[in-house]
Structure 1
Amino acid sequence: MKIGIIHGFVGGGGGTEKTLDAIIESLTSTGHTVTLYTISKPSVSFPNVKTVSTLPFHLPAFGLYQRYMESKLVEKAKDDDLVIQASGGLAVPVDENQKLVIYCHHDFQNETKRDTSKYKGMWSWYYKPYYALSKKFLNRISDKNIFLISNSKFIHDSIKEKFSKDSKIIYPPVETQPFQKNTRKTNSAITVSRYSQEKNLEFAVDVFSDVDIDYTIVGNTKTRLNQIYFEKLSAQVKNSKTHLLQNIPRPQVIENLQRSKVYFHASAETFGISVVESIAAGCIPIVPNNSAHRETVPFDQLRYKQDNKQDAQDKIKKALAGDYDKFIPLLQSSLTNYDKNTFKSTFVDVIQEISSTG
């Protein structure tokens, strides 16, 4: 089968691109002819995959316009038997007989709540095309040739509530094999995150400002905005035992996770790959009591009230004292649900099922 994959920008890293990698591996290894459609030329290559790019250069700004441009890639895939929107963006099939699969990393909440009337002048010209597309997509989301795959039950339930549309649930791929479960732990904590405003890392720094242990934030700064945020966050650090690392090699990330007793997360997540990786590394995850964290960390004792510093600190201290060690084997018993090989085999089965539907 000829399959087109849409993923506007490739090379920034993160969970979305880990999912793209696994999707491509699952399809090429099962004999499908795969074409990857992007806006700018990817900074990485994929074996046995043809790449079609709109621009020969990277578009660093105007994120909303980037998403609008990405939606237009569907037109380039008009000759493919099936199209997969892998980055979770908006897309509407050109042909009503062509099947479109969207892997949903989110529930389209921004698209449903956006009010464009407040934008005047030049900004209205910037925003209106994308939100016109949003309206078109939301009007078509129930079409029988648009199929949704949710990255968690949290997203599945939200989409079902908003659009009365069902979706398959396939958790994102997590490479759990590199982690050794029984490594020697130190009395320390870690966060793995992109350096970005929505990750709420200011709260994490504040939580550990008066906790007397080594605390490390590991993250990437692939864009200028990431770097600006990193520098701003660094200026907030007052505790000499809080360390901010950027763009370190993957083996070093794994090493830091394996020696940390506690993993701390500060933001809501539609899934949270780094949380699952921390479980694979034998950490005790302390996460906010919201979003998909209730799936990956299904124990109330390990979830704190959102943005409540005292509750977060209390749970961290109990984890360091060993009160929550009993949860580690229970958490690790669920890791096969998130394994990369599980993702690949399940994804291929779902694509085969979709392609066979009338």
Structure 2
Amino acid sequence: MKTAVIHEWLVTYAGSERVVEQILNLYPEADLFSLVEFLPDALKGFIQHKPAKTSFLQHFPFANPRFRQYLPLMPLAIEQFDLSDYDLVISSNHAVAKGVLTRADQLHICYIHTPIRYAWDLQQAYLQGAKLNRGIRGFLTHAVLHYLRLWDLSTANRVDHFIANSHYVARRVWKTYRRSAHVIYPPVDVDRFQPCAQREEFYFVLSRFVPYKRVDLIVSAFNRLGLPLVVIGDGSEGKRVKSMAKSNIQFLGHQPDVVVVDYMQRCKAFVYAAAEDFGITLVEAQAAGAPVIAYGKGGATESVIHEKTGILFPEQTVESLVEAVKLFESGSYCFDPEYLRHNAEKFAPEHFRKKLFQFIEQKWTVFCRGMA
């Protein structure tokens, strides 16, 4: 079967790109499509140095790095891809990839990382964070997102089978599209980390500084606690969050992978306050033997075992996080690095590939029978 793999944009190597990497490992002869591709040569290994077939957005002014500003044109752009030569279409979707046009004699399987966050359940948080919730710009943004929701809802019917990256996302897929989704957890490169038993006296945060990640909540909590906290990451909220912090909090900005691994393997615990779709860093922390202190909603409840690999705090508030850290500090629980590592290994790439291959092959067999 001739296969096409569709991803929204190829500009970095993050969680959704790791899924694309494993899909291409399963189907190395597949052709790759993306709205834009601005990967530096050093990162192209995960797509096997394939030439991605891009859309007209690739050539628009300032598309690199401001391609997101062309969001209103992305539905049109994704529909321009000619997939008529392919038998199997696999889309990796967190925005518009599932909107590609296919025929009845083509099988379209969508691995969905999330329904479009900024158009659906996190619209208000994104608009407030970008200061687009009022005025003429706010009105126009609301109008664009309204159009995007209508288009996004209609494109759910273009997918034959959905695969969600967590049960939390599967529930959101049902809520948004009234479509069922099979759950296959995303691949996590656990072998990057060693489960160190000797932990140092600092807590650790690795995150983008965007509103829904709630790094500000963590900073406020550690301002109260006075405990040492190291923060790696950057983003639009960086300046505001840094201005809040007291001297016990250290910001390192963006760091290379070797530095991230080092801090993850040495920290006393990893702290996370977002309601995440899955949360790859939560699994990475456990792979490094670091207990997790995380908000008990979303993907965290599916990868963190409360009181065994971490502590889940019940409310997304400063008070709730402070109480969780105090409980951790009390020594009431003993977190075994080897047990944390064992839990993390359930999310290793080989498990992802095996489950994804079995799912696709089963659906392909049934599809072919129906076409006979």
- TM-score band, normalised by shorter chain: 0.7 to 0.9
Distance 1:349 1:14 in 2: 25
Q: CA offset at residue 109 of structure 1? A: 6.5
Equivalences, count: 344
Which residue, out of 78, 82, 103, partners 1:95?
Answer: 103
Structure 2, unmatched stretches of 5+, are 125-132, 368-372
Matched, 1:39 2:52: no
What SS class does the counterpart of residue 191 from structure 1 fall into?
Answer: strand
Over the aligned positions, Cα root-mean-square deviation in angstroms equals 3.0
Indicate the residue corresponding to 2:349 in structure 1.
340
**2:32 match: secondary structure:** strand
Measure the CA separation in 1 of the matches of 2:18 and 2:194.
Answer: 21
Amino acid at match of 1:76: D
Between Structure 1 and Structure 2, which shows a larger proportion of helix residues? 2
Q: How far apart in 2 are the matches of 1:167 and 1:289? A: 22
Residues 159-185 of structure 1: CA deviation (Å, up to 9, x unaligned): 235544222211111111121113410
Residue 229 of structure 1, CA deviation: 2.3
The residue type paired with residue 89 of structure 1 is A
SS of the residue 1:49 aligns to: coil
Q: Which AA in structure 2 matches 1:338?
A: F
Per-residue CA deviations over 1:90-127 (Å, capped at 9, x if unaligned) read 31533232222221111456656789xx9998887776
Letter in 1 for 2:31: V
> Who is 1:157 aligned against?
171
Match of 2:326 among 317, 328, 337: 317
The percent of aligned pairs where both chains have the same amino acid is 18
Q: What is the distance in 1 between the residues matched to 2:120 and 2:329?
A: 42
Deviations 1:11-42 (A, max 9, x none): 234312222222222321xxx33323333443
Determine whether 1:269 maps to 2:276: yes
Instruction: Judge conservation of contact 1:64–1:127 (CA < 8 Å) in 2.
Output: no
In 2, are the aligned partners of 1:93 and 1:100 still within 8 Å (CA)?
A: no
Contact 1:68 1:130 in 2 (8 A): no
Deviates more, 1:33-42 or 1:5-14: 33-42
Matched, 1:353 2:362: yes
Residue pair 1:217, 1:244 contacting (<8 A) in 2 also? yes
Task: Report if the CA contact (8 A) 1:35-1:49 is conserved.
Answer: yes
Shift of 1:271: 0.2
C-alpha distance in 2, partners of 1:353/1:152? Answer: 20
Q: 1:243 to 1:78 in 2, by over 3 A?
A: farther
The letter of the residue matching 2:271 is: F
- The residue number in structure 1 matching 2:87 is 81
**Correspondence for 1:200 among 214, 238, 242:** 214
Q: Which moved more, 1:248-257 or 1:130-139?
A: 130-139
Q: Name stretches of at least 5 consecutive residues in structure 1 with no aligned partner.
A: none
Quick check: 2:89–2:108 contact (8 Å CA) kept in 1? yes
Work out the CA distance in 2 between the residues paired with 1:47 and 1:109: 29
Letter in 2 for 1:2: K
Contact 2:232–2:252 (8 Å) recurs in 1:
yes
How far, CA to CA, are the matches of 1:95 and 1:120 in structure 2? 42
Q: TM-score normalized by structure 1?
A: 0.84
What code does the residue aligned with 1:232 have?
Answer: R
1:341 CA drift (Å): 1.7
Structure 2 letter corresponding to 1:286:
I
- What's the TM-score once normalised by structure 2's chain length? 0.81
Q: Structure 2 matches for 1:166-205, cutoff 5 A?
A: 166-205=180-219
